[in-house]
Amino acid sequence: MKLDETPGYALCRIARKVHYQIDLIFKEEGMTVEQWVALKTIFENQPLIQKELGRLIEKTPNTVKSLAERLEKKNFIKRTPDPSDHRNLILTVTEKGQKFTEEYSALDEKANDALTSSLTKEEMEELARLLDKIEKNL
């Protein structure tokens, strides 16, 4: 089987294209896709312990620390020590971060809708099932 015919290569190729499209949306705001994923995850799960963010977005502690610092510097999130365990930081979204997330969630959804616009509802369900099955193999 040729490389470009393998499922792994196809998934990588699609992921690169999706990443590029979403990156275009956030680039003018000075935000990376990784920062967007972190912000959206905090928004959906707040208050969130920084370690838990790493688990949810599958990033190393150092990467999560860097992402959180950048988001805090942009005033999108606030990091406060956990009163019950000072080793942990609790992440919450600021008012600015909330407005940004609400506005850009619509653009993110639009990009994702464009990605699957040629699929029927049944095909979407099948795709989700197959991708979940593949992920469980890893």
Query: Is residue 103 situated within a structural domain?
Result: yes
Q: Which of 40, 82, 35, 77 is nearest to 59 (CA)?
A: 35
Query: Is residue 85 situated within a structural domain?
Result: yes
Contact between residue 65 and residue 26 where contact means Cβ atoms under 8 Å apart: no
We report the CATH number of the domain holding residue 122 as 1.10.10.10
pLDDT in tens, 64-86: 999 999 999 999 999 999 999 98
Nearest-angstrom CA–CA distance, 115 and 47: 31
Query: Is residue 68 situated within a structural domain?
Result: yes
Query: Is residue 15 situated within a structural domain?
Result: no
What range defines the domain where residue 108 resides? 34-131
- Number of structural domains the chain divides into: 1
Query: Is residue 117 situated within a structural domain?
Result: yes
Low-confidence ranges of the chain (pLDDT < 70): none
Query: Is residue 2 situated within a structural domain?
Result: no
